[in-house]
Structure 1
Amino acid sequence: MSAPTPHEPIPGTTIFDGRMAMKGYPLNKMCYSFNEAAARQEFLADEDAYCAKFGLTDEQKTAIKERNALALLAAGGNIYYLAKFIGMLGLNVQDIGAQQTGMTVEEFKAKLKAAGN
């Protein structure tokens, strides 16, 4: 069995691999907790304390405070767990796709539709 080959960089995309999974574990664990309404309420009542409860890094805390989805991905966030957080903000995965591509949400949706997605 051969060793895995490194991923080719994709402009504007953060590859979520084992290294990123380890880096993002506290962030993803916190985001997973947002499945529960009580957790969402606790977070919204005191974001700093809630982030500290999960041991987020300074990079992760800053990205949370700034509501910066791309920085959250770069800090090890997994889009499936981050969806719990961005959902609390009234955003969705298409909003993140638009951020990643530098498009408006409407432009991004049109691009998806044109591609048959």
Structure 2
Amino acid sequence: MALDKPYLDIPGTTIFDAEQARRGYHLNQFCMSLMKAENRERFKADERAYLDEWAMSEEQKQAVLARDLNRCIQLGGNIYFLAKIGATDGRSFQYMAATMTGMTQEEYLQMMLAGGRSIEGNRFVGEDGDAQAHRQPQGRKR
């Protein structure tokens, strides 16, 4: 029996639920391994060889190699674990978030200082402005 997941209709959003946690277990464990200096050095010396030590899917490994964080999240990665990759690369969390939005770090900073992304187009799939702004789908609480 499939679980009801009313949050699946949020545009551009992957919710880290139990299914995603199972899917990304090895990817997230790899990320956590980067907390140890010796593992960071091994990873930086030969990324592919280090990734091949983990029972990750080829798709997950390719996403890590490409530093495609959005794809990593789709494949079960948790952003708090994925931040270890950014730290290993000497990148800030702000830089990582900017790359995930397709913005420069400065553009991302300015957007956040201005109050964040507009809610327009980011409510629910199929929702259009004020006509449905107060709709509460069955089973969803706001």
CA distance in 2, matches of 1:5, 1:69: 23
Shift of 1:99: 3.0
RMSD: 1.9
Q: Secondary structure of 1:55's partner?
A: coil
Instruction: Give the structure 2 partner of residue 75 of structure 1.
Output: 75
**Closer/same/farther in 2, CA of residues 78 and 50 from structure 1, 3 Å limit:** same
Instruction: Give the structure 1 partner of residue 11 of structure 2.
Output: 11
CA distance in 1, matches of 2:103, 2:90: 18
- The structure with more radius of gyration: 2
For structure 1, the 5+ residue unaligned runs are: none
Instruction: Give the structure 1 partner of residue 43 of structure 2.
Output: 43
Instruction: Give the structure 2 partner of residue 60 of structure 1.
Output: 60
CA distance in 2, matches of 1:55, 1:26: 6
Shift of 1:30: 0.6
TM-score, normalised by the number of residues in structure 2: 0.71
Aligned positions, number: 114
For structure 2, the 5+ residue unaligned runs are: 117-142
Instruction: Give the structure 2 partner of residue 115 of structure 1.
Output: 115
CA distance in 2, matches of 1:97, 1:12: 14
CA distance in 2, matches of 1:33, 1:78: 14
Instruction: Give the structure 2 partner of residue 101 of structure 1.
Output: 101
Instruction: Specify the code of the residue in structure 2 equivalent to 1:104.
Output: T
Shift of 1:5: 4.8
Tell which deviates more after alignment, 72-81 or 102-111.
102-111
Shift of 1:82: 0.5
Shift of 1:96: 3.0
Consecutive aligned runs of 4 or more in structure 1 exceeding 3 Å deviation: none
Tell which deviates more after alignment, 3-12 or 49-58.
3-12
Tell which deviates more after alignment, 102-111 or 70-79.
102-111
Shift of 1:8: 4.3
% identity of equivalent residues: 42
Shift of 1:31: 0.4
Instruction: Specify the code of the residue in structure 1 equivalent to 2:56.
Output: L
